[in-house]
Structure 1
């Protein structure tokens, strides 16, 4: 029996038995085209000898007027275009019951239903209590109660015939409630995405409680004691499949190797097959558990930034007193606070979208070096982060980090302005009058001596004063984006992405930058006959978007020797 989430309004939390009854009513086992009614009544009258079998094709032709044949009624529940068809996620049991309610509705009594079901699937139905009525399902082997509101499960209410129990996405804080009377034949236990917390949880995963357990999923909880967990799990002689990813304990760099060597019978860890090569690489590694630090290591790398507009093209030329304007660009990202308190706090323009949640997590803002503008600003930034408090680290990875590109504008003024340089006129010497005369020939036809040219005083280059008064920096966010880090919890060793903030450059700005660069290349060079031509911009010109390369890597040891070396 399967039941998915309701699309309508939600009611108060329900017991499991009540949810089952509601689901059976929705199957409409006693209404058209199922059950007994005017559409098939003659086939189930007490005096007929055809009560407990289907009609033959010849007999179907003799049904009473106004009644439907069995095939016609079955077609109504089987056709995907019928208004009586079941929803897509209905289980095989649901389909069987609907057809049985057409072929032989007299069998659908409570005693039959309780003995028939081998599987119950009640997902996202607001179930908060697993009550004792579940024991009526005497042959139940599979119970799936994921995405509900269950905080505790009274194991005494679980049928002893259970082989599969899934409780994903509930609010269970401890496995202790399941260990009072656990089903002895349970082979799979799924408790992922709950709130299991604390080192004592390892006491409840031993052979004393689960002697036949083959598969165990404890992923995405808050378990931190890897060594204690391995000691308990090693007692499960039949355990072959294990999921622990998403827990803080899986963030330590030696997690996979230590787990593989501790559980020698394990075949699959975190949905990845344990290879013979892995077993060989980490052989004997579990004996060194006491010497391994309980900490996680991350390396954050910031590469190239492209698509930044050079804002200085709109600034006027400075006067003797200024303003002298400079621009720098840098990238910031936030990470959960370490014990050493590295990083720096920024406010104002760099405040996070949700400062309250970030404050709870205790995040710190880290920054690359400040660099001037370029078409491609290369940072080559790399920072290693080490964490011992793994529970808040997991919460931070679930929320992600915000990567921001910032423009810093620095305005300075001269404390003592430079004097304005005025070129001095050349000294007058001998033949001064001749200099003003026009060069020509005298009456005798001899050429007159050409007067000496005036010597112009050399112009001095503009100098920036040595003493400057700097105003507070003006910060402007060019782009900000959230980078998802949850893949690091789900088994990925690194997150590598290019944050794309869209196009902020324009055709006008690119033309101005190109014009300025051309003037710089001509400065100091000899004048040529042909001036350099301005490159033409096509009509479909599209400037490069603003991007930054980001990579965050979770350190993981690949061999026992590598782990022991560090």
Structure 2
């Protein structure tokens, strides 16, 4: 891929100003010296208006530099001043954003009075300090391809007051060493947001050597997920006035006083609490069951929530994870899942992996292994209109970089349904179920029972009442995923401590409702077919009748139409389904004072 130099982009922008073309520069459009002053002034105002009017064809977008409009104005008023050196020295601010710049060459040194250089969203991987003008005060390099600061700190511009390095792959100990007061003696504001710094103590130790630092942005770094942030930063940098776009109050500084002196405190470890609350909107699976259905098997439905989250240690509930994978081998009675296609793909992908406590997570780069991602399942609840799980889990994570990536991707929450069939246990008292007789056999046997058998019916019914309920044997549970939803958690990376989300999964149909709908459609189609056959037979019989029967047959036809409409109206079932919602909250633990950190330290020492 060919490289794009910064000087080439800047020269293109300057040529785009058209300083020698109408209405700028010299030409026939300008008045000569022999013309009257009034006319010349009027002509100059007209030319300047062509440059400033947004509807003019000579208007240009000059947002890349606030000096660009002034240069064009000079090209109208005093075109003789616009020599090459004058133009380069005139610019003090350059904002070249998202132009594909990959190389900062020595052509930038021609701008000898440059004070502000903004190069955000380009492809710069190295900043040679020798190609930066020594007059620079503001240097913005956000969202580039920087992975090291060595080239920038060899001979950095001595007067830089603002340095923006956010959204770059910076975070090594060498990068930390290059952010000291020895390299940036006049630095007032520093932006390190959305980088990869993990060693909070080492970074703050280096930043404390910056004598003029007042404003600091650190949100989006892995260590900001730890409970010690922001208190540890506030107490470590007493000269700081603003942290992450928020002013540091005296009360806040007082609460965190002494926190930086706790050297034995573990500050590079995060604690997250995930809470699952109430779930509503699940249709009742028993509403459409046939009242004349046999007593066995007994069908029980239960519901639970599953999700994955990052943890510090091997998850304790690996057995639940194994059960989930083994049970998905018989998701439904017919061997297929009725859940949405995306949920089925997720389940198939998870069940194909070995049970090692490692879950495969899809990212933009492809499928890779993320260790210590454990699956958690809530307790199982029987159906109700509002099922309150009240499930709270706490996760300790020492891999802060992995936690940042996990929160950036978000988690997937799934609603699982478990169906269990129960049968009476085989015993001497309970005969084995026999195949049911057909209708003819039942009619033939009617009234042929022996007197002894018919006479003892009352006695047997009394004996059955005296006997206890038969012991039931349960089949293997049949589980299926009713639906899943992606829960975004990026706000936790951006600085929020807690995220409360009402997950909406839309309308779901239970297995029994789906079967009932299919049966209803079949019955409805059968009735309509029978009505049509009766109508056709009556029509054939009525062809030989006289004119007297015409009106009556017509009336009958109308009545048949009415009955046909009644079939659609009476037999249709309208079920109003509410969207399924699940309450979920994810909270990062944050120390609110130094005394709270002292309490944690005592617990760490005793454990």
TM-score in same-fold range (> 0.5): yes
Q: Give the Cα–Cα distance (whole angstroms) in 2 for the partners of residues 59 and 129 of structure 1.
A: 46
* TM-score, normalised via structure 1 length: 0.78
- Larger helix percent: 2
SS of aligned partner of 1:499: strand
| Maintained 8 Å contact 1:402/1:483 | yes
Q: Give the Cα–Cα distance (whole angstroms) in 1 for the partners of residues 379 and 292 of structure 2.
A: 27
Unaligned runs of 5+ in 1: 1-10, 62-68, 429-453, 513-539
Name 1:501's counterpart in structure 2.
Answer: 505
| Maintained 8 Å contact 1:307/1:505 | no
* Alpha-carbon distance, 1:389 to partner: 1.2
Count residues in correspondence.
Answer: 486
1:386 aligns with 2:396: yes
* Alpha-carbon distance, 1:110 to partner: 1.7
Matches within 5 A, 1:361-510: 361-362=370-371, 363-416=373-426, 418-419=430-431, 457-458=461-462, 465-478=470-483, 480-504=484-508
* Alpha-carbon distance, 1:113 to partner: 1.5
| Maintained 8 Å contact 1:308/1:546 | yes
1:306-349 deviation digits (Å, cap 9, x = unpaired): 10112233445697784332212111222235332345456663
Q: Give the Cα–Cα distance (whole angstroms) in 1 for the partners of residues 44 and 106 of structure 2.
A: 38
1:77 aligns with 2:77: no
Q: Give the Cα–Cα distance (whole angstroms) in 2 for the partners of residues 551 and 88 of structure 1.
A: 46
Name 1:557's counterpart in structure 2.
Answer: 591
| Maintained 8 Å contact 2:361/2:370 | no
1:370-391 deviation digits (Å, cap 9, x = unpaired): 2111100100010001111111
Name 1:356's counterpart in structure 2.
Answer: 362
Q: 1:86 to 1:413 in 2, by over 3 A?
A: farther
1:31 aligns with 2:21: yes
Name 1:174's counterpart in structure 2.
Answer: 148
Q: 1:365 to 1:87 in 2, by over 3 A?
A: farther
Q: 1:464 to 1:242 in 2, by over 3 A?
A: farther
**Aligned-pair RMSD on alpha carbons?**
3.3
Q: 1:223 to 1:60 in 2, by over 3 A?
A: closer
* More moved, 289-298 vs 27-36: 27-36
* Alpha-carbon distance, 1:255 to partner: 1.7
* Alpha-carbon distance, 1:458 to partner: 4.6
Q: 1:261 to 1:465 in 2, by over 3 A?
A: same
* Alpha-carbon distance, 1:114 to partner: 1.4
| Maintained 8 Å contact 1:321/1:414 | no
Q: 1:208 to 1:324 in 2, by over 3 A?
A: same
| Maintained 8 Å contact 1:328/1:371 | yes
* More moved, 162-171 vs 457-466: 457-466
* Alpha-carbon distance, 1:159 to partner: 0.7
* Alpha-carbon distance, 1:30 to partner: 2.7
SS of aligned partner of 1:407: strand
Match of 1:150 among 124, 140, 149: 124
Q: 1:12 to 1:106 in 2, by over 3 A?
A: farther
Q: Give the Cα–Cα distance (whole angstroms) in 1 for the partners of residues 278 and 369 of structure 2.
A: 32
Q: Give the Cα–Cα distance (whole angstroms) in 1 for the partners of residues 304 and 268 of structure 2.
A: 33
| Maintained 8 Å contact 1:414/1:467 | yes
Larger RCO, structures 1/2 (Cα 8 Å, 6+ apart): 2
1:301 aligns with 2:275: yes
Match of 2:38 among 39, 54, 57: 57
1:335 aligns with 2:339: no
1:95 aligns with 2:42: no
SS of aligned partner of 2:158: coil
